[in-house]
Amino acid sequence: MNFLEKYYNKFNEDKRLLSRHGQVEFFVTKKYILDLIGKRKNLNIIDICAGTGRYSEFLAKLGHNVTAIDLVQKNVSQIKEKNQNIVAKKGNALKLKFKDEQFDIALLFGAAYHLFSHEEKLQALNEAKRVVKQGGFVLVMYLMNEYAVLTYGFKEGNIKSCIETGKLDKNFVCKTNEDDLFSYVRIEEINSLAKESDLKRKKIIAVDGPTDYMRPTLNKMSEEEFELFKLYQLSICERKELLGASSHVLDILKK
């Protein structure tokens, strides 16, 4: 908790999502959320580990009943400032203080980034499942192992020190812990978590694919080129061969 508070008291999540690489993630994810919602009105949606509430605000403006939960009080306060119609509370993804089957959709976008054991990730997933109605959806976002290895390891020149300090094993699997702040997974673990939670997968998508690797290129694009790139990413995001090296992967699961 102390690590999270220190990090998010300095980090501007809104700025990240407004950057071009962040816009791609937001654009693709929104499309899939809207596909799930369809023509339904006034859905009850919980945004678990909501950060500063970019997705909460988007859904509230569509007229849905949004509850936003986050561990960091600064984030909760920012959500309340943005939209008073959002019920924003401080809370823990591992123990949600809500009744069973209270929501139509649960967004679990931040929790898996900061939960380091398989057991804790599964607990958060099961908690989201518990508060969602039968037939409802749980959307969980993960940070990917190869993204960390390729960027922090090779691109930023830390690969040798990561191996020497045990941050990477001989198979280049990230061995992160709470001191590292973020937790990274491979598709195998995502599949295992979905199976163990007894949730049925509807889609699994690479919401940003190679976008984060291409920041300088994206920033040089004209507006027209950038719009085309967003459409390109949307068109390829379900391709299985691209999932592993995406920065973020979204698993859309049905109860």
Strands 248-254 vs 132-143: parallel, antiparallel or unpaired: antiparallel
- Domain-located, residue 104: yes
What is the SS3 assignment for 180?
Answer: helix
- Domain-located, residue 176: no
pLDDT of residue 148: 94
Q: Find the domain containing 24 and state its range.
A: 2-144+185-254
**What is the C-alpha separation between 129 and 166, in angstroms, rounded?**
34
pLDDT of residue 18: 78
* The one-letter amino acid at 221: M
Q: How far apart are the first and last CA of the chain?
A: 30
H-type alpha helices, 181-222: 187-196, 215-220
- Domain-located, residue 228: yes
- Domain-located, residue 12: yes
pLDDT of residue 188: 96
- Domain-located, residue 210: yes
pLDDT of residue 19: 87
- Domain-located, residue 174: no
pLDDT of residue 4: 63
CATH number at residue 229: 3.40.50.150
- Domain-located, residue 36: yes
Tokens read off for 156: 């930023």
Per-residue pLDDT of the chain (255 residues; tens, 9 = 90+): 566 666 666 656 666 667 899 999 999 999 999 999 999 999 999 999 998 999 999 999 999 999 999 988 889 999 999 888 999 999 999 999 999 999 999 999 988 988 989 999 999 999 999 999 999 999 999 999 999 999 999 999 999 999 999 999 999 999 977 677 889 999 999 999 999 999 999 999 999 999 999 999 999 999 999 999 999 999 999 999 999 999 999 999 999
How would you class 195 by CB atoms within 10 Å of its CB: exposed for 0-12, middle for 13-18, buried for 19 or more? exposed
- Domain-located, residue 154: no
Query: How many domains is the chain built from?
Result: 1
